[in-house]
Amino acid sequence: MSPMPSVSYSITIRLEFAARSAAVSDITGRIEQHGATVTALDVAASGPERMRADITVLTGGHDHAMEVVDSLKELEGVELGKVSDRTFLAHLGGKLTVESKVPIRHRDDLSMVYTPGVARVVKAIAENPEDARRLTIKRNTVAVVSDGSAILGLGDLGPLAAMPVMEGKAALFKRFANIDAFPICLDAHSVEDIVAHVKAIAPVFAGINLEDISAPRCFEIEDRLRAELDIPVFHDDQHGTAIVVVAALRNALRVVEKDIETARIVLSGAGAAGTAILRLLRAAGARDIVVTDIHGIVHEYREQLEGRLPWIAEVTNPRELTGTLHDAIEGADVFIGVSAGNILSAEDVATMADRSIVFAMANPTPEIDPSEAAKHAEVVATGRSDFANQINNVLAFPGVFRGLLDAHATRVSDRMLLAAAKALADVVSAEELNPTYIVPSVFHEGVTKAVASAVEQVAREEAGTVDSITGAMSAVYADEITLEG
Ligand SMILES: NC(=O)c1ccc[n+]([C@@H]2O[C@H](COP(=O)([O-])OP(=O)(O)OC[C@H]3O[C@@H](n4cnc5c(N)ncnc54)[C@H](O)[C@@H]3O)[C@@H](O)[C@H]2O)c1
Ligand SMILES: O=C(O)C[C@H](O)C(=O)O
């Protein structure tokens, strides 16, 4: 069976063929016979005998695309031209540009925009550094920083390969929150080096969004930067994910009529995303959480508990389970996966409690195929855009930074993250809520605004009480916050 056609593997094929109506249906019929989907046919040139057209086709991947192209070569009278991968076409020359906001038409403009006029603005900022937010791009600019060590679910592919993702994040910042974000891919490896480089570029920015930096270094880098910078620092893979998961869980629990305080939750993955999800779940009131990782259930007596694992063992697993994910899942109300593909079976899901919830979020392959999970679970979500209930950080980070920037915030707190999760969940009204709609679409108009105002409000409330709640992340572990509602 051919893999499911997806727009991310769409191709445009240039073809020349005889100018007769059956020729077009022969071509589209052949494509669909191979399980691909034709979405457009644009005529590029037409003559009395021959036509030239570009056909856009959704395929299930590289091999499937090649299979479709090869099958068209067999059609009589059809000549194949260039085949373009539309995802690569969208990346030609990169996805961003920098534009001047001021006109530069003649010497007068030059004298103000640049020298000598600019010198007075320079002196004003030197005398009053706060003016940088008023007189430069700082107030609305965020650095999207990565070292490329944990790109999506692909691993350590380095800073150059991280560029398309960071450019993409910057494009999303602009599209959804009108924030000017800039991709900064660092050829730096140690915690010390990364912290030093981010600190050195920080004057330009009103916030730092860390992306795709591997665990456990991401924890220390964020802790250090939060303690040493006067602008908010937010590791999206941790906190963006946690906000969306808690929002989605809040709504999923409404669907299945269960409470977060009593729900039995299994969290597969104790890395960057898993650790942050655990923290926010606890802050949201969850109490019965069992965490599993590549070595099975995290418990106090397990060997080689390092990094954040001793803390995880301490605050989870109230029924003192040992063993594997399969042991943990029995009787659970909720499964949340941020670990690896295909580690959960439909039989495992069948052992869960009635009206169970499965969030299988590993990318690009989820912990369980969503259609398999749906055989036994009432609510199923994944990180994928080709299935209902897509859980992705893009629902959170644009609004979070909009709120932080509007409040001129200097820090990020767990109260802000929880407020963001609640606001995001509330975008789905009681009338809209159902098992296949627990999170809104990112294109839903209210998403960024709801998240931004919730974060801005908490940021303003907390202004002046800096350090009393979080400060460095390690302090949060000792002093967790629970919010109502
Ligand atoms: N959908 C989303 O929005 C979203 C957000 C963040 C992360 N993710 C996905 O979650 C996964 C983890 O991301 P991360 O940044 O936390 O990675 P990470 O490397 O920091 O952590 C991975 C965790 O999974 C565990 N793990 C790895 N292989 C396993 C296996 N075969 N069986 C059981 N556990 C295993 C590891 O022990 C570790 O605890 C990735 O696939 C990533 O793409 C998805
Ligand atoms: O950042 C994302 O959008 C995806 C997620 O973080 C992932 O690691 O797959």
Is pLDDT at 461 greater than 70 in this prediction?
yes
When pLDDT is averaged across residues 350-377 and rounded to a whole number, the result is 96
Q: How far is the CA of 324 from the centre of ligand 2 (A)?
A: 26
CB 181 within 8 A of CB 170: yes
DSSP code at position 239: I
- At 2 the pLDDT is 59
Q: Are residues 224 and 244 in the same domain?
A: no
User: Exposed/middle/buried for 164, CB within 10 Å: 0-12, 13-18, 19+?
Assistant: middle
What is the phi-psi region of residue 355: left when phi exceeds 0, alpha when psi lies from -120 to 50, beta otherwise? Answer: left
User: Given 182, 201, 231, which residue is the final one in a domain?
Assistant: 231
Clarify whether residues 31 and 141 are in a common domain: no
List C-alpha distances in Å: 240 to 257, 276, 299, 411, 418: 26, 9, 27, 15, 11
Cα 271 to Cα 42, 76, 185, 191, 394: the distances in Å are 47, 55, 22, 17, 20
Active site residue: 114, 123, 174, 375, which one?
Answer: 114
Q: Closest by alpha carbon to 453, among 483, 410, 416, 428?
A: 416
Do 485 and 365 fall into the same domain?
Answer: yes
Quick one: which atom of ligand 1 is closest to the CA of 382? 1
Instruction: Return the higher-pLDDT residue of 21 and 54.
Output: 54
Which uninterrupted H or E stretch holds 361? none
Q: Is the ipTM of this complex over 0.95?
A: yes
Cβ contacts of 235 within 8 Å, gap of 6 or more: 209, 210, 211, 213, 218, 221, 222, 272, 276
Same domain? 372 vs 435: yes
Question: What residue type is 41 in one-letter code?
Answer: L
Q: If we measure between CA atoms, which residue out of 175, 91, 186 comes closest to residue 143?
A: 186
Edge-to-edge strand list for the sheet holding 37-46? 37-46, 50-59, 6-18, 79-85
63 lies in some domain? yes
Q: Decide: helix, strand or coil at residue 347.
A: helix
CA of 168, nearest ligand number: 2
Tokens of 441: 């679409």
d(Cα 50, Cα 238) in Å, to the nearest integer?
56
Distances (CA, A) of 177 to 82, 140, 172, 180, 436: 38, 10, 8, 9, 26
Among the ranges given (107-121, 177-191, 464-478), the one the predictor scored with the smallest mean pLDDT: 464-478
Catalytic residue at 114?
yes
Range of the domain at 301: 237-485
80 and 128 in a single domain? The answer is: no
Tell whether 357 and 439 lie within a shared domain: yes
CATH (domain of 30): 3.30.70.1340
- 199: annotated active-site residue: no
Domain boundary among 231, 265, 297: 231
State pLDDT tens for residues 61-71: 999 999 999 99
Q: What is the CATH number of the domain that holds 417?
A: 3.40.50.720
DSSP 329-341: HTT-SEEEE-S-T
Q: Which atom of ligand 2 is nearest to the CA of 393?
A: 3
**pLDDT > 90? residue 277:** yes
Give a yes or no: residue 102 inside a domain.
no
pLDDT tier, 304 (very low <50, low <70, confident <90, very high otherwise): confident
**72 near 80, Cβ under 8 Å?**
yes
Select from 412, 398, 408 the least CA-distant residue to 446. 398
- pLDDT score, position 481: 39
pLDDT at residue 464, rounded to an integer: 64
Claim to verify: residue 208 and residue 350 sit in the same structural domain: no
**Token pair in block for residue 444:** 């839903």
38 and 146 within one domain: no
130: left (phi over 0), alpha (psi -120 to 50) or beta: alpha
Quickly state the pLDDT bin for 334 (edges 50, 70, 90).
Answer: very high
Q: What is the pLDDT of residues 175-194, one digit of tens each?
A: 999 999 999 999 998 999 99
Q: Is the CB of 391 under 6 A from ligand 1?
A: yes
5-24 residue pLDDT tens: 889 899 999 999 999 888 99
- What's the mean per-residue pLDDT of the chain? 93
Interval between CA 152 and ligand 2 midpoint (Å):
5
Question: Over pLDDT 90: what percentage of the chain?
Answer: 89
Check if the beta carbon of residue 373 is closer than 8 Å to that of residue 185. Answer: no
**Ligand approaching nearest to the C-alpha of 274:** 1
Domain boundary residue, one of 41, 65, 91:
91
Model pLDDT, residue 27: 95
H-helix or E-strand spanning residue 43: strand 37-46
Strands 288-293, 296-297: pairing is antiparallel
**Closest to 233 measured CA to CA, from 470, 458, 49, 445:** 470
Ligand 2 mean position, distance from CA 154 (Å): 10
Q: What is the pLDDT of residue 484?
A: 37
Report how far residue 451's alpha carbon sits from residue 446's, in angstroms, rounded to the nearest whole number: 9
Query: In this structure, are 42 and 168 located in the same domain?
Result: no
The residue count of the chain comes to: 485
Whether 47 has a pLDDT exceeding 70, the answer reads yes
Domain identity same for 388 and 476: yes
Rounded distance, CA 320 to CA 357, Å? 22
For 402-430, the pLDDT digits (tens) are: 999 999 999 999 999 999 999 999 999 99
Domain holding 124: CATH number? 3.40.50.10380
- Chain centre distance of CA 429: 23
User: Are residue 428 and residue 289 in the same domain, yes or no?
Assistant: yes
The catalytic position among 138, 169, 258, 422 is 169
pLDDT band at 465 (very low <50, low <70, confident <90, very high): low
In a domain, 96, yes or no: no
Question: Ligand 2, residues 144, 339, 393, 397: which to mutate, most atoms within 8 A of Cβ?
Answer: 393
Asked, for residue 177, whether it belongs to a domain, the answer is: yes
According to the model, what pLDDT value does residue 335 have?
98
Q: What is the pLDDT of residue 482?
A: 41
- DSSP assignment string, 152-165: TTTB--HHHHHHHH
Closest atom of ligand 1 to 362 CA is: 41
Same domain, 403 and 291: yes
Q: How many distinct structural domains can be found in the chain?
A: 3
